[in-house]
Structure 1
Amino acid sequence: MTRRGIEVLAVTLTGVALCLGACSTDVAPPSDPTAQSAAVPLVPRTAEQIVGALQREGFDVDHPTEATDVNCAEAGCTQAVVTDRFRLLVFPSTGSAQSYAASQDMRQIETIAVGFAPVVPEAQRDRYWNAIVRLAR
C-alpha cells in the first residue's frame, strides 16, 4: 500500500471513529421492573373515579367517603375510599399494594387493594371485583 493510501485509510478510520462516538447514545442502565413511572400510573383512574364509575353502572355504593387521611398513614397508600360494602386503596407501587393486600386478606390488582365488608356475599364480592378489575385498566 502506498503512503497516500495509508493516509487516506487513516483519515477514513478516524472519521468513522468520530462519527461512531458522536452518533452513539449512552446506554441507560436497566430499569427496576418494580418501579412505577410517576408520569404514567399503572391504574389511570383515582380511587374516587373508580367508585364513581361503579355508582354510575348501578352498583350499590352506599356512603362513599374519601378516607386517605385515616387509612393511608398506616397502610402506606396514596388514596383511599371507604363505602358500606368495601374499601378501595391505591398504592404507589404494585409491590406495596400486593404486600398490604396479602397481609389484610384483600384482593389486589396492579396498585389497587380492595377489602369487602363481612356482610357482602361472595357472589356480590366477585361481581364488584370484576367491575373494579375492568375499570382499573
Structure 2
Amino acid sequence: MTRRGIAVLAATLTGVALCLGACSTPAAPSSDSTAQSAAVPLVSRTAEQIVSALQREGFDADHPVEATDVNCAEAGCTQAVVTDRFRLLVFPSTGSAQLYADSQDMRQIETLAVGFAPVVPEAQRDRYWNAIVQLAR
C-alpha cells in the first residue's frame, strides 16, 4: 500500500471512530423542570376529595354531585363537583383554569376554579376559599 493509501485509510478509520464515539453516546436526561413537573399534578387532591375534606371540617357542602359530564364539555375541565354552596372545577393546566375562572367571575388557584352560589355571603365565600386554598396545597 502506498503512503497516500495509508493516509486515506487512517483518516477514514479516525472519522469512523469519532462518529462511533459521538453517535453512540446516549443523550443526557432532560433537566427541563417543566417537562418533569408536567407529570406531577399541581393540586394533589381530586374535586371529590376537596369537597369531602370540607365536609369533615364542618363546612356546608351539602348535596355534592359529580358533574363532570355536564360542566366539563363546555368548560374544558377534567372534573367538576357541584354542591348547594359552590362548584369546583379541575382543569388540565393553570392557564386553562385561569381563563375559565376569569370569564365566569370565579376564583382560581393552580388548576382549580371555584364559583359560589349567589346566596353565599362574601364573608363565607372567603372562609370557604381559604380552606380550599389550604386543601389544594
Instruction: Report the TM-score, using the length of structure 2 for normalisation.
Output: 0.77
Paired position in structure 2 for 1:74: 74
In structure 2, the partner of 1:104 is: 104
3-state SS of 1:118 partner:
coil
* Change beyond 3 A, Cα 1:23–1:100: same
Q: When the two structures are aligned, how many residues end up with a matched partner? A: 121
The structure having more radius of gyration, on CA atoms, is 2
**Aligned match of 1:26:** 28
SS of residue in 1 equivalent to 2:52: helix
With over 3 angstroms needed to count, the CA separation of the structure-2 counterparts of 1:56 and 1:94, relative to structure 1, is same
| Structure 2: gaps of 5 or more residues | 1-17
Distance change (3 Å), C-alpha of 1:84 and 1:44:
same
Task: Give CA-to-partner distance per residue, 1:40-92, whole Å, 9 cap, x none.
Answer: 11100000000000000000111110000000000000000000100000000
Give the 3-state SS of the residue equivalent to 2:114 in structure 1.
Answer: strand
Q: What percent of counterpart residues are identical?
A: 79
For residue 114 of structure 1, what is the aligned residue in structure 2? Answer: 114
Greater than 2 Å deviation, 4+ residue runs: 20-31, 33-36
Cα root mean square deviation, aligned: 2.9
> Structure 2 CA distance, aligned partners of 1:119 and 1:34?
42
Q: Give the helix-richer structure, 1 or 2.
A: 2
